[in-house]
C-alpha cells in the first residue's frame, strides 16, 4: 500500500530538497500530518475518521503502527513530543488528548475537552502553561487547562477562526480568521485580554508561525501572500512576502537558520531568508489622473470632459506607489527587497532607478510536484514533510538548504 519509491540521499550535495520517501496508495484523504522527531515516522489524521502513526519498517515501507478510529472526523492535530501528548480536534467541536506510547505502538485516550460547538480548525498545546488553545468554526477562540480540562477563557471572533499561534515568553496569542484578520490577545490564568486586530490580508488566513527571537509573526493566506509582522518593534511595521501563485497553506519558521518555509497549493516549497533586510511596501498614492501624463482616470468625469479624452484605468507602481496609467508603467521587475519575488508593475521613473541590490532574490523555490495542503518540519534532522491534496505524503531532506 504505502511504498518508498526513491532514496536519493546520495544527491544531498545539491542545494535543494532531496525526496527521501514518497508514501502513496493511502486509502483516504490525509487532512494533516506531523513528523515524529528523531524517528522515521509521522502521525496523520484522515477523513475516514482515522488517526494513524506511520513508522518506516526495515523493508523501507511505511506502515501504520497505530490506526485509531474516532467517532467523528478529526480536523486538526498537535503533537507535543516533550510530554508525549497528542491533541486531535474533531469536526464535532471536541478535542481529544492522547498519551503516545514510548515506541509509538499505541495511543491512549486520556482526556476529552468539550471545547467548541463547531469543527475545531486548529489546536495548540503549551507545556509551560498546561494549556490547550483552539480555534473553531463556531467563531470562538478558547483555551483550556490540561490539568483539569476546565475552560480558562474564550474570545468571540466575528467569523470562523482558522489558526492559532502562541508566544510563551510574553503569553501573547494570535488568532487568524476567515476574514483575513488576526486577533492579538494576552492570555493569563484568569482569561484573555484583547490587545489589537491586525489587518492586512484580503482573504482567509490559513496558517501562522512565530519567530520568538525577533518577535516576528508570519501569516499565510488564501490571498497567496505571506505577511511578516514586526510585533516586537511595536511600530506596526510589516513586510510582504509574495512568492506563491496559489493559496498559502502552511508555514514553519526555522529558528536555527532564521528561514521561513512556506507550502502552497501551487505545489512550491519556498524558503525565505528572514535574515535579509527587507523594506516596507510604499503606500499607494491616490489621484484622479495619472501622475505622469495627467490623463484622467475613468471615474474622473470632469477631467475627461475638460480634456475631451477617454479616462484610463488606474495602476500603481509597486516600487514607489505612484498612481499611474498603463502607458506610464510598462516595465516589470522582481523587487525581492519589497517582498516581490515575481515580476510586478513599475513606473517609467522607477525603471532606470532600480538597483541590482533591490533585485537579489531572497527566497528559494522548489517544486514539490504536488499541491500542498500541510507541512511539518523536524528541526533536529532538518526533514520536511509535505501532505498533498493527492493523498500522497512526501518526506524531504532539507539539510543542503537549511544550513
Ligand atoms: Zn500616464
Ligand atoms: Zn515608481
pLDDT band at 123 (very low <50, low <70, confident <90, very high): very high
- Give the residue from 116, 135, 133 showing the smallest Cα distance to 124: 133
CA geometry: angle 37, 28, 74, nearest 5 deg: 65
How far apart CA 38 and CA 290 sit, in angstroms, is 59
pLDDT band at 301 (very low <50, low <70, confident <90, very high): confident
pLDDT of residue 2: 46
Q: Is residue 287 part of a domain?
A: no
Q: Which helix (H) or strand (E) holds 73?
A: none
| 196 and 312 assigned to the same domain | no
pLDDT of residue 147: 93
How many Å lie between the centroid of ligand 1 and the Cα of residue 323?
A: 9
Residue 6 has pLDDT above 60, yes or no: no
Ligand with minimal distance to 287 CA: 1
How far apart CA 242 and CA 229 sit, in angstroms, is 14
Ion ligand 2 residue ranges (Cβ < 5 Å): 317, 319-320, 322, 347, 350
| 392 and 322 assigned to the same domain | no
Q: pLDDT for 156-206, tens place per residue?
A: 999 999 999 999 999 999 999 999 999 999 999 999 999 999 999 999 999
How many Å lie between the centroid of ligand 2 and the Cα of residue 5?
A: 49
| 72 and 108 assigned to the same domain | yes
For 124, the grid coordinates are 495548540
Q: pLDDT for 333-343, tens place per residue?
A: 999 999 999 99
pTM of the model: 0.93
Ligand with minimal distance to 349 CA: 2
Q: Which helix (H) or strand (E) holds 17?
A: none
| 266 and 341 assigned to the same domain | no
1 vs 76, more confident: 76
| 69 and 164 assigned to the same domain | yes
For residues 222 and 203, the answer to whether their CB atoms sit within 8 Å is yes
pLDDT of residue 14: 63
pLDDT of residue 8: 41
Q: Is residue 295 part of a domain?
A: no
Ligand with minimal distance to 293 CA: 1
* Residue 141 CB burial class (10 angstroms; 0-12, 13-18, ≥19): buried
pLDDT of residue 117: 97
How many Å lie between the centroid of ligand 2 and the Cα of residue 88?
A: 49
Ligand with minimal distance to 331 CA: 2
How many Å lie between the centroid of ligand 2 and the Cα of residue 351?
A: 7
Q: Is residue 114 part of a domain?
A: yes
Looking at the structure of the chain, the number of domains it has is 2
How far apart CA 295 and CA 327 sit, in angstroms, is 10
How many Å lie between the centroid of ligand 1 and the Cα of residue 314?
A: 9
| 220 and 319 assigned to the same domain | no
| 389 and 313 assigned to the same domain | no
| 314 and 377 assigned to the same domain | no
| 249 and 377 assigned to the same domain | yes
Going along 178-306, which residue ranges are E strands?
181-188, 191-199, 205-211, 216-221, 226-230, 238-241, 248-254, 259-264, 268-273
Q: How large is the average pLDDT for residues 94-117?
A: 96
Q: Is residue 272 part of a domain?
A: yes
Q: What is the CATH number of the domain that holds 306?
A: 3.30.40.10
Compute the half-sphere exposure of residue 120: CA atoms within 13 Å on the CB side of its CA. 28
Pairing of strands 191-199, 315-316: unpaired
Q: pLDDT for 72-83, tens place per residue?
A: 999 999 999 989
**Domain assignment of residue 349, given as a range:** 301-359
Q: Is residue 289 part of a domain?
A: no
For residues 394 and 385, the answer to whether their CB atoms sit within 8 Å is yes
For 217, the grid coordinates are 509573526
Q: How large is the average pLDDT for residues 283-302?
A: 91
Compute the half-sphere exposure of residue 196: CA atoms within 13 Å on the CB side of its CA. 9
How many Å lie between the centroid of ligand 1 and the Cα of residue 318?
A: 15
How many Å lie between the centroid of ligand 1 and the Cα of residue 347?
A: 9
Q: pLDDT for 310-323, tens place per residue?
A: 888 999 999 999 99
The chain-wide mean pLDDT, for the chain, equals: 93
| 367 and 327 assigned to the same domain | no
Q: Is residue 285 part of a domain?
A: no
**CA R_g for the chain:** 23
How far apart CA 33 and CA 56 sit, in angstroms, is 15
pLDDT of residue 299: 86
Residue 250 has pLDDT above 80, yes or no: yes
How many Å lie between the centroid of ligand 2 and the Cα of residue 352?
A: 10
Work out the percent of the chain whose per-residue pLDDT is above 90. 89
How many Å lie between the centroid of ligand 1 and the Cα of residue 356?
A: 26
Going along 255-300, which residue ranges are E strands?
259-264, 268-273
Q: Is residue 75 part of a domain?
A: yes
Phi, then psi, of 306 in degrees rounded to 5: -60, -45
pLDDT of residue 306: 87
Q: Is residue 1 part of a domain?
A: no
| 347 and 391 assigned to the same domain | no
Q: What is the CATH number of the domain that holds 226?
A: 2.130.10.10
Sheet of 248-254, strand order? 248-254, 259-264, 268-273, 363-367
How many Å lie between the centroid of ligand 2 and the Cα of residue 328?
A: 10
373-to-207, 245, 248, 332 alpha-carbon distances in Å: 11, 14, 9, 31
- Give the residue from 222, 224, 139, 150 showing the smallest Cα distance to 175: 139
* Long-range contacts of 367-370, Cβ-Cβ distance < 8 Å, separation of 24 or more: 367/267, 367/268, 368/17, 368/263, 368/267, 368/268, 368/269, 368/394, 368/396, 369/267, 370/267, 370/394
How far apart CA 347 and CA 164 sit, in angstroms, is 39
- Give the residue from 314, 262, 316, 310 showing the smallest Cα distance to 288: 314
349-to-346, 353, 354 alpha-carbon distances in Å: 8, 7, 9
| 311 and 373 assigned to the same domain | no
Q: How large is the average pLDDT for residues 103-107?
A: 94
Amino acid at each position: 500500500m504505502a511504498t518508498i519509491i526513491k532514496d536519493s540521499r546520495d544527491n544531498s550535495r545539491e542545494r535543494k530538497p532531496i525526496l527521501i520517501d514518497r508514501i502513496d496508495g493511502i486509502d483516504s484523504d490525509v487532512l494533516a500530518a506531523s513528523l515524529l522527531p528523531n524517528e522515521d515516522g509521522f502521525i496523520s489524521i484522515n477523513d475516514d475518521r482515522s488517526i494513524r502513526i506511520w513508522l518506516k519498517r526495515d523493508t523501507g515501507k511505511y506502515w501504520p503502527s497505530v490506526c485509531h478510529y474516532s467517532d467523528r472526523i478529526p480536523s486538526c492535530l498537535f503533537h507535543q513530543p516533550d510530554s508525549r501528548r497528542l491533541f486531535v480536534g474533531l469536526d464535532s467541536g471536541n478535542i481529544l488528548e492522547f498519551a503516545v506510547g514510548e515506541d509509538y505502538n499505541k495511543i491512549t485516550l486520556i482526556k476529552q475537552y468539550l471545547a467548541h460547538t463547531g469543527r475545531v480548525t486548529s489546536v495548540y498545546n503549551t507545556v509551560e502553561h498546561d494549556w490547550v488553545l483552539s480555534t473553531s468554526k463556531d467563531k470562538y477562540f478558547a483555551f483550556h487547562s490540561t490539568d483539569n480540562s476546565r475552560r480558562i477563557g474564550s474570545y468571540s471572533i466575528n467569523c470562523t477562526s482558522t489558526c492559532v499561534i502562541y508566544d510563551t515568553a510574553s503569553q501573547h496569542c494570535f488568532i487568524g480568521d476567515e476574514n483575513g484578520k488576526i486577533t492579538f490577545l494576552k492570555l493569563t490564568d484568569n482569561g484573555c485580554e484583547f490587545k489589537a486586530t491586525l489587518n492586512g490580508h484580503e482573504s482567509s488566513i490559513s496558517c501562522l508561525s512565530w519567530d520568538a527571537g525577533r518577535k516576528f509573526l508570519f501569516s499565510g493566506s488564501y490571498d497567496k501572500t505571506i505577511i511578516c509582522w514586526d510585533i516586537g518593534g511595536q511600530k506596526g511595521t510589516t513586510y510582504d512576502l509574495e512568492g506563491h501563485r496559489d493559496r498559502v497553506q502552511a508555514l514553519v519558521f526555522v529558528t536555527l537558520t532564521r528561514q521561513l518555509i512556506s507550502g502552497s497549493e501551487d505545489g512550491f516549497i519556498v524558503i525565505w531568508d528572514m535574515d535579509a533586510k527587507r523594506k516596507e511596501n510604499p503606500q499607494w498614492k491616490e489621484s484622479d489622473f495619472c501622475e505622469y501624463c495627467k490623463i484622467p482616470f475613468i471615474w474622473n468625469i470632469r477631467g475627461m470632459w475638460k480634456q475631451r479624452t477617454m479616462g484610463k484605468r488606474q495602476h500603481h507602481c509597486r516600487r514607489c506607489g505612484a498612481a499611474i496609467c498603463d502607458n506610464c508603467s510598462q516595465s516589470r521587475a522582481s523587487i525581492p527587497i519589497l517582498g516581490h519575488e515575481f515580476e510586478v508593475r513599475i513606473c517609467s521613473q522607477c525603471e532606470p532607478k532600480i538597483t541590482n541590490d533591490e533585485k537579489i532574490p531572497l527566497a528559494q523555490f522548489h517544486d514539490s510536484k504536488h499541491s500542498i495542503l500541510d507541512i511539518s518540519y523536524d528541526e533536529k534532522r532538518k526533514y520536511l514533510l509535505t501532505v498533498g491534496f493527492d493523498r500522497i505524503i512526501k518526506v524531504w531532506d532539507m539539510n543542503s538548504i537549511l544550513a
